[in-house]
Structure 1
Amino acid sequence: MHVLLIEDDDLVASGLEAGLELHNCTVDRVSTAREARAALEQFGCDVVVLDLGLPDGDGMELLSTWRQQRVATPVLILTARDALDDRVRGLEAGADDYVLKPFELDELAARLNALVRRAAGRAMPEFRHGELRIHPGSGQVLLQEKPVALSRRELALLEKLINARGSVLSEEQLKDGLYGMDANVESNALNVHIYHLRRKLYRDVVVTERGLGYRLGPPPANIGGHQ
């Protein structure tokens, strides 16, 4: 899950970034409304965590502008503003969830996973693809009821393909989801992760659409081992 974190408090942001990465998230952090607008234009994240008190504007106005521009990315407001009017305004402005500080990290991660599932049209936390079962929240992957150990980025790649619901994702879209906007990524890094997914799961789990990108392949069938 690729998270855009908009938070100007360094201590809160650092704790959130570290905690969400332990929940298999790729986190890009910005601290101003201007940076947030540029970041969302630059790459397609899965979900936004938005603080309302930003140094160059109000987060509520930023959210309203995005919704007026028909930006559909799920947004979770994370704020200390606990008045009922603020919560109502946030939801009416287009927030998908509203969480008060202080918060429990496990609950926040679960809420973010739920928003991403809902945006992808999935109600259940577990995704089933034939004999392949994936639980992104816990990082558990089972093939023919046998656990398969995936790295954080392999799991993120698989989840990105699942949430695309069969659509083709470009190499840049997948790299953004795995590494974020600031990472210095080697040119063959994505191909290495795809190779490992095919080796650990089955050959056609990732389908290459030449000149376009990649998509989730058909469910596994008649697998001998994991090849």
Structure 2
Amino acid sequence: MDDLRVLVVEDEPTMRELLRDMLYKAGATQVTECGDAACGKAQYAAEHFHIVMLDLGLPDGNGHDLMADFKAVNAQQHVVLVTADDSIESIQKAISAGANGYVVKPYSLEKIHDVVNNYVMMHGTDMQMVKGLNRQH
């Protein structure tokens, strides 16, 4: 694999922009952005993504339901939920529902590196593709 494609579904434009920039720094080669669940569903149907990052609170749905839709299409889809809710209950619910990760806002470059590294480790992706992953940040 010589690319890493990520779908970001986040309704807050500044948070979406921040996440996009951090994903590129962490090794992503393509980041597709959506501000709501409808856009996320359309993009997911149109293209293959290695990682999907979903906000829990969207104006037209929620990350849990959207994750279930994506996992119904591809049970192996790597999905990371992003939210300001850092409660143990929310994290447990996300993981038990099939999330591959959970990132609490505000985002940090270290957390986003961890998301990409986790994907790489789970899927045996060529480490050359993400050569900048372990540089100091």
Scaled by the length of structure 1, the TM-score of the pair is 0.52
RCO comparison, higher one (Cα < 8 Å, 6+): 2
Query: For residues 59 and 46 of structure 2, what CA distance do their matches in structure 1 show?
Result: 21
Hey, what does 1:136 align to over in structure 2? 130
Amino acid aligned to 1:87: I
C-alpha spacing 1:77/1:11, structure 2 compared with 1 (3 Å): same
Amino acid aligned to 1:105: L
C-alpha spacing 1:22/1:112, structure 2 compared with 1 (3 Å): closer
Hey, what does 2:18 align to over in structure 1? 15
Matches within 5 A, 1:198-209: none
2:27 match: secondary structure: coil
Query: For residues 70 and 46 of structure 1, what CA distance do their matches in structure 2 show?
Result: 11
Hey, what does 1:6 align to over in structure 2? 9
Gaps of at least 5 residues in structure 1 are 128-133, 141-227
Amino acid aligned to 1:114: N
Greater displacement, 9-18 / 98-107:
98-107
CA RMSD of aligned residues (A): 2.2
C-alpha deviations, 1:43-76, integer Å up to 9, x for none?
0011011110000011111112322344422011
The share of aligned pairs that are identical, in percent, is 26
Query: For residues 93 and 131 of structure 2, what CA distance do their matches in structure 1 show?
Result: 29
Aligned residues: 130
Scaled by the length of structure 2, the TM-score of the pair is 0.83
Gaps of at least 5 residues in structure 2 are none
From 22, 41, 46, the counterpart of 1:42: 46
- Is 1:62 the equivalent of 2:56? no
C-alpha spacing 1:38/1:107, structure 2 compared with 1 (3 Å): same
Query: For residues 16 and 102 of structure 1, what CA distance do their matches in structure 2 show?
Result: 10
2:93 match: secondary structure: helix
- Is 1:30 the equivalent of 2:24? no
Choose 1 or 2 for highest CA Rg. 1
Is the Cα contact below 8 Å between 1:5 and 1:50 reproduced in 2?
yes
